[in-house]
Structures are given as structure tokens and as C-alpha cells.
Chains A and B, each alone.
Chain A
């Protein structure tokens, strides 16, 4: 019995979901840390969040959501037998990821110019809590950024597979699972946006 002969579609998907649960909990722990820290320093979190540009955050959210639309459509396309369309949509998703990371890069660069980082010039003498906000901001958006990067890598592989036929209309689990991963990264950002840019 080879593995391919007894390939288990439901099992592969269940495995992916379980992996996504671990990602939920990974960020969940950081949400706990953020929540606790914020309750202890509400004013300083509010003050520190003024460094962030809400407009850029919202724009980036839209980029990421659009990527999610593309990859969900890619899956629908592949399931409907349109492999080439699926491949192009996957490429567009990777592009969205790249735009997101580029914007994020500009934001980080600006923060660093302003000295807005833990133990940086802008936060050195600031009241306790501000540097903590900055630390959490870098930690959580940074970890999220790494996940975006991982998602882009994953989807690039899928782009090749869609070309070679390893992912095809009658065998779409790899695309489906990668899409799930991308959506998860999206969901985490949906919470990061208000936590740091809007409601702090």
C-alpha cells in the first residue's frame, strides 16, 4: 500500500486545521499578554499608539483582505477546472503579500527614524508602558509579518505545482490547505489592526 493509494483528503484537511489551532493559540498567548499589559497601562498605550498611522493600517488591511479574496477564488477556480486562472490568482495573492510587507517595512523604517523602539531615543525617558506598547507592537506585527512571509513562500510553491500539475482540479488539497493558512494570517491581522492602530 503506497501512501498515494490511500490518500485521505479529510485527514489532510483535519491535520491542517489542527495546525491552524496551534497558530491561533500561539497568537492567543500574545493577545493575553497584550490584554494584561494594556489593562495595567491604558493611558500610555493610548499615547504610544499615536505614533502609528491608522490610515496605513487600514489600507494594509484591505491589501490583505484582497489577497484572501484572490486565494479563495483561486481555490474555486481550481475546483471548477480552471487551473490557469487558479495559478494567476495565486500569483496575485503573493503580490498582495509583498505589498503588505512593503508597506509594513516603510512603517517600521519611519518608527525607527523617530526613535520609536524599546530603549530608543523617543522612549528612553517616557513613562512606563509606552516602550511596552512599542515592544508588543514589534513583537506581534513582526511575528505576523513572518507568517505572511511563510504564506507567500507556501503559495509560491503552489504556483509551481499549479504549473506542473501536482495541484490540479482533482487533487486540490495542497491549494486548499495553503489557502486556509493564508486566511488564518488574515484573521490574525483583523485583530491586530484595532489592537494597535485603532482602539489603543
Chain B
């Protein structure tokens, strides 16, 4: 009996009180997917606005609220939780041969906290003050002084942080305690390694943003002056605390995507992954070093030169474990019998776009260059190459890879190919133009732009519209498959990891009998070492 069966209970009750990790994953997906589309439409509105350099379509104040809300929703409600809560919840227990996560009821609590956090943030749109207009970074002193409802927005971030911590905590204990017999750490699929590394960042740094958001609220209500130089405070202290979480957070966003891509590539190359241990430990390496580079957001803020140099150096070091992954994915493809399915296509796009995102990151991590590029469209371009080219495409790759297993239905690959073409081309036209616009001097977050940027802005908008049409086609294809798709076999792709050894969709208890593990996760050719 599949996990989707309500077993006679009313559907609302069976879903809202479930502690099944698979159902909780779908609850997350049902919250995250519409929020993603909503935040995307905010982005589209901004691109429409930039078809004109001056006053057009929306007011400057609305524009400020739009980019804040776009950032808050995309970051805290899509990229941070996206892969971890949907695919992590669904597949982490299955991939290690467990029946559920370690604390199923805590897992349910975390999805409710997530829903509450989303509701709070969206509610701030209709409160008297209006949606926050500070940018998703909530920098002081503006976030303390502005009349918009920053308090509600930052409180929602606090609640979302709690939810994220509980998910991370659950994953760490699950990975340590619930592995099937024979599943040693070095036999775990690499998505599990990635989720495990991510979970550590979630547990260790999320509390920092939690308390920092509370500090902003306290400042707004009691005016203590913690960040006010007139009272002895230091505005840079806010930036330090904010980025102590928010830089590691980009690794919370990207590492699970790397993990998902690492599952997709070997399956469609029908070949053992190259450098298993290097990929596994580079996840931990990224998690560790990635937590120590937050100062590179503050090179132009007036930090001490010593700190500038240390943070710049550390930033270069993070590139090493990231590059290790890229080399290993490429080496896995070498001499593989490649089957270019939609999932692999999106995964390869991830590798390509993430490489550009990473390299542009190195460029702006160099101190002298940073002064020139800081707060321009270049940074926005870099960020979207990593977060959308990386995590976004990784999310789609994971969705296309695991969709048949999650829902027991096959999707039509043809629209997925077309969607890919539109997204990939549109994406690059859009964000590569942003990189160029940045070097031309276009500052980020500006409502208006000068006539010399008109052509490039138009090109970027055209790219954005192309990309969005691709996303909508993909969404349509998957929604169609959800209801009308053909029944999926247990192992449509010929995958080797445990999720393919159970039914599609999996039974409630995941496996009929507890699996016993006798080999590594990707041994396509037993006896022949890759």
C-alpha cells in the first residue's frame, strides 16, 4: 500500500497530522512551489519596470518592497528550505534504508513552523506599515528607522530559522542512528553526505540569524542603540552577525543541490561516481570553510584591512572543495554511457552555471576588484548564477529525477526538453547581461536607470521572459503528469541507490524488509572499480 493512501481516514486529517517523512516532504513542496512562482512573478514585475528607465508601472517605494519581498521569499522560503525539506525529507531516510527520520513529530512541527513563518512574511504586505523595503539583508540603520513593517518580516525569518534548525537536527540524528545494517558512512549515497553537511550548517549558524533578527525588533521598539554609533554601538556589528549566518546560508542552499546532482549524474552515465570520498568530504569542507568567509560581503563597509585580507583569503579557499566536485562530476561523465534525459540535462546545466557562479565569486572575492563591483548588477548576476543557475537548476534536476518515485507517475519528457532550452538560453541572456551591466556601473536595487543602460536592460528583460516561459512549461508538464501521467515502474532510470529498490510510490514503511547493504551506492559494474 502506497504512502499516498489515506487508509480510510479523511484526507485533511491524514495529511495534517501525518508524521510520515514522505508526506511531510510533499507538504513542504506544496508550500514552496507556489511561493516560488509568486516570488518569480515579483521578479518579472521588476523586469517589466526596467523596460523603461524612469518612472514606469510602479512607484519607487513599491519597487523597494518588491525586491525585498522577492529576496525574502526566494531565499528564506525557496532556496534555503527547497532541496533539504522536499528531497531531503523524502529521500534521506530512504537512501539510508530507514523507515522514517529520527524524530517524526519534530519533523511535523518544523513544517508547521515553516508555514507560520511564510504566513507572517506574507501578512506583512497587508499591515499598516506595508511590506519591508530594506532589501532582504535588513541592514541597520535603515531597517530600524523605516516605517514599513520590518518587525513582522524579521520575525518571520526567525520562525523560518527555527523550522530550518529542527530539520537539520533531525537529519543529523537520522544519519547517525538509523542507517540500515551494513550502511557504513562510506557506503552512504552522496546526497546523504550533502544533506548531512548542510544539516550541520543549519544547526550551528541558524541561531545567529535568529537572535540577530530579534535584535532588530528590540531596536525598533526600545531604541537601545546596539548598532547606533551615537550610543557607542557599531552598525558593522549588525553586518557581521547577519552574514555570520547568511553567508553559510548560501551553502545551506547549494550543497543539497550538489548532492542531488551527484545522484543524477552516475545514474544516467550508468557508471560509478568518480572520486566518491573526495565528493563526500568536499561537502564537509565547503560547510566548514563556507562558514568562515562572511566578511567578504563587507569589504567596502569599512572593516579593518587585516579582516579584509583574512576573509579574502578564506574566500579563495572555499573554491577548492567546490572545484573538486566539478572535476569529479566531469570525470564521472568521462567514458560513461550517457543517456541525455531531462534530469541529466538540468544537472549538467547546474554544473555549467554553477561553475560560472563560482568563478565570478572568486573574481569579486579579490579585494581590489570588489571595490569596483560591490553593489552593482554584477553581484546580482553572480548571486543568481549560483542560486538559480545552481540551486534552481539543481532543484529541477532533482524533481525530474525523483518525480516518478515520489508520485508514481511519469512525465512527458518532450516539454521538459523545450522548457530546458528556453530556461537555459533565457537564463544566460538574462544574468550574463547583468554581469556586463555591473561592470558598466549599473548599481543594484535602483528604481531608475540611465539611458546608456537601456539596451542591456531590455536584453536582460527579454532573457527573463524567455526563462520564465520555460519555467511555466515545465510546471505545466509536471502538473499534467501528476494527474494524467503513465504509471511509473519501480526503477525507470536504472538507478542503483536504495530508493529504486522499493515501489513507486514507496509503501508507507519505505521497504517491505529492512535492506542490508553489502556494497557502495553506485556499483553499476560489480567487480570493476571506476
Contacts and interface: CB of A to CB of B under 8 A. Distances in A.
B339 to A, nearest CB: 38
A29 B173 contact: no
Interface string B78-120: 0000000000000000000001001110000000000000000
Contacts of A10: 177
A53 interface: no
Interface stretch (A73-81, A105-113, A129-137, A180-188): A129-137
A1 B173 contact: no
B113 to A, nearest CB: 14
A29 to B, nearest CB: 4
B230 to A, nearest CB: 6
A129 B225 CA distance: 9
A92 to B, nearest CB: 31
Contacts of A22: 165, 169, 203-204, 206-207
A37 to B, nearest CB: 7
B363 to A, nearest CB: 29
B237 A36 contact: yes
A26 B211 contact: yes
Interface of B is mostly: helix
A18 B203 CA distance: 7
A130 B232 CA distance: 8
B207 A132 contact: no
Contact of B225 (A1, A3, A19, A135): A135
Q: Is the interface of A mostly helix, strand, loop or mixed?
A: helix
B244 interface: yes
Interface string B129-153: 0000000000000000000000000
- Of A33, A130, A131, which is in contact with the most chain B CB atoms at under 10 Å from its CB? A33
A132 B177 contact: no
28 contacts: A1-B99, A1-B509, A10-B177, A11-B102, A11-B176, A15-B102, A18-B168, A18-B169, A22-B203, A25-B205, A26-B207, A26-B210, A26-B211, A28-B207, A28-B208, A29-B208, A29-B211, A29-B212, A29-B244, A30-B211, A32-B240, A40-B232, A44-B232, A118-B222, A131-B224, A131-B232, A132-B225, A139-B218
Interface of A: 1, 3, 8, 10-11, 14-15, 18-19, 21-23, 25-26, 28-30, 32-33, 36-37, 40-41, 44, 118-119, 127-132, 135-136, 139
